[in-house]
Amino acid sequence: MHSTPLPPGIPAPAFTLPAGPGRQVSLADSRGRPVVLAFYPADWSPVCGNQLTLYSALTAEWDRLGAEMIGISVDGPWCHSAYGEARNLKVTLLADFEPKGAVSRAYGVYDQSKGTSQRALFVIDSDGIIRWSYLSPAEVNPGADGILEALEQLAQPEAAAARTAR
Amino acid sequence: MSSPHLKPPVGPEDHIQGGAGAEITLVEYGDFECPYCGAAYPILKRVQRRLGKKLRFVFRQFPIAESHPHAESAAEASESVAAQGGPKAFWRMHDQLFENQRALQYDDLARYAAKAGVKGDVVLNDLDEGRYRELVRESFMSGARSGVNGTPTLFIDGIRYDGPRDEEALVAALTLVEGRPVSA
């Protein structure tokens, strides 16, 4: 059972999730700057690894754009910390673990049949409004082009529009 | 989202193998330490041989330092070689890097540069100064904006190719580009 990701223009559902053993992260913590949520099916899967490695390699770019990059899956916090360490990831990984998949469901990106998050991206602006969302086939790494475009649009709507038109 | 497109298009700044009269352009975003790029290297060579003058091949840097600790310096070294010795030296360096992916320490890079026909100590100096870091970063960012989602990522005539990377599939994809079929 696939659902539909929340569309642009509506407030991003609030959440607080563990970001590793003993640390909690709330969406509200990031109010005042853009946030990227990258929901993905599972730690350790090859496609997810490439995707999160790419986002880690783009750390300087997220910083330049003032944005926070957050990965979310239903894996537990200990799993996330082992995975992040093994792959040298620089992305905050949140555990949508208990109640399982609750945040993924709230965003419309929970795959009931597999019991995992779908592979989906959300760009949320500094006021907490979803400005871009994208659902990718689970086996396809969506890359970063859509995120970069959406963040640049937030930063400089006119300049970004001009670049797209060119 | 439609199929991602190459931004910017291939231009004079690129590392290009094959003539301007070529009918098809294949672009690889690659990482010299990535094993998948290493596996693709001999296949792409065979594809180039089969298509001959019809194909021009372009290499763009996409080193992922998080996974491959020597990738960034290998990329910068190849740019230093290109700046010193031009396209022929660059491609000799490119080939040696892919043929020796497990030996990419500084002294290896200097040795390959010397074999490519330029000064190895200049390459090392350029690495120390980070002279080509920005150039490599620009290539990386152009890849990120073009929808590169791992290495290698290939673009055929500017459109990302997500199909299999065996020789026959690539030749088929390259020769059946819509609108102008080319015989292999």
pLDDT in tens, B34-72: 999 999 999 999 999 999 999 999 999 999 998 999 999
Residue B80 pLDDT: 98
Task: Tell me the whole-structure pTM to 2 decimals.
Answer: 0.91
**Contact yes or no for B142/B58 (Cβ under 8 A):** no
Interface check for A160 against chain B (CB to CB < 8 A): the answer is no
Q: How confident is the model at residue A155 (pLDDT cuts 50, 70, 90)?
A: confident
- Residues A31-46: tens digit of each pLDDT: 999 999 999 999 998 7
Residue B19 pLDDT: 80
- Residues A108-121: tens digit of each pLDDT: 999 999 999 999 99
Task: Note if A48 is an active site residue.
Answer: yes
Give the count of beta carbons closer than 10 Å to the beta carbon of residue A99: 8
A to B CB pairs, distance under 8 Å: 49
Chain B CA closest to residue A84: B66
**Contact yes or no for A40/A46 (Cβ under 8 A):** no
Q: Does A72 have pLDDT greater than 60?
A: yes
* Strand A24-26 to B153-156 pairing: unpaired
A142 closest CB neighbour out of B66, B141, B149: B149
Cross-chain residue pair B64–A53, CB shorter than 8 Å: yes
Cross-chain residue pair B64–A54, CB shorter than 8 Å: yes
* Strand A35-39 to A68-73 pairing: parallel
Residue A36 pLDDT: 98
Q: Does A162 have pLDDT greater than 90?
A: no
Cross-chain residue pair A143–B67, CB shorter than 8 Å: no
Closest-CA residue to A101 (of A76, A79, A132): A76
Residue A107 pLDDT: 98
Q: Which residues contact B95 (CB under 8 A, 6 or more apart)?
A: B41
Segment (H or E) for A47: helix A46-57
Q: How confident is the model at residue A132 (pLDDT cuts 50, 70, 90)?
A: very high
Segment (H or E) for B25: strand B24-30
**Contact yes or no for A28/A64 (Cβ under 8 A):** no
The CA distance from A36 to A34, in Å, is 7
Å between A65 CA and nearest CA of chain B: 13
Per-residue pLDDT, averaged over B4-16, amounts to 94
Q: Which residue has the tokens 């730690």?
A: A43
Interface check for A51 against chain B (CB to CB < 8 A): the answer is yes
Interface check for A13 against chain B (CB to CB < 8 A): the answer is no
Sign, Cα dihedral of A14, A67, B152, A160: positive
Q: Which residue has the tokens 């537990």?
A: A76
Closest-CA residue to A53 (of A40, A34, A67, A64): A40
Residue A10 pLDDT: 96
Per-residue pLDDT, averaged over B6-29, amounts to 94
Cross-chain residue pair B66–A87, CB shorter than 8 Å: yes
The CA distance from B123 to B30, in Å, is 20
- Residues B105-158: tens digit of each pLDDT: 999 999 999 999 999 999 999 999 999 999 999 999 999 999 999 999 999 999
**Contact yes or no for A38/A69 (Cβ under 8 A):** yes
- Cα B75 to Cα A43, B51, B52, B126, distances in angstroms: 29, 27, 26, 12
Residue A160 pLDDT: 58
Q: Which residue has the tokens 């396209």?
A: B87
The CA distance from A50 to A38, in Å, is 13
Closest-CA residue to A85 (of A36, A120, A42, A52): A52
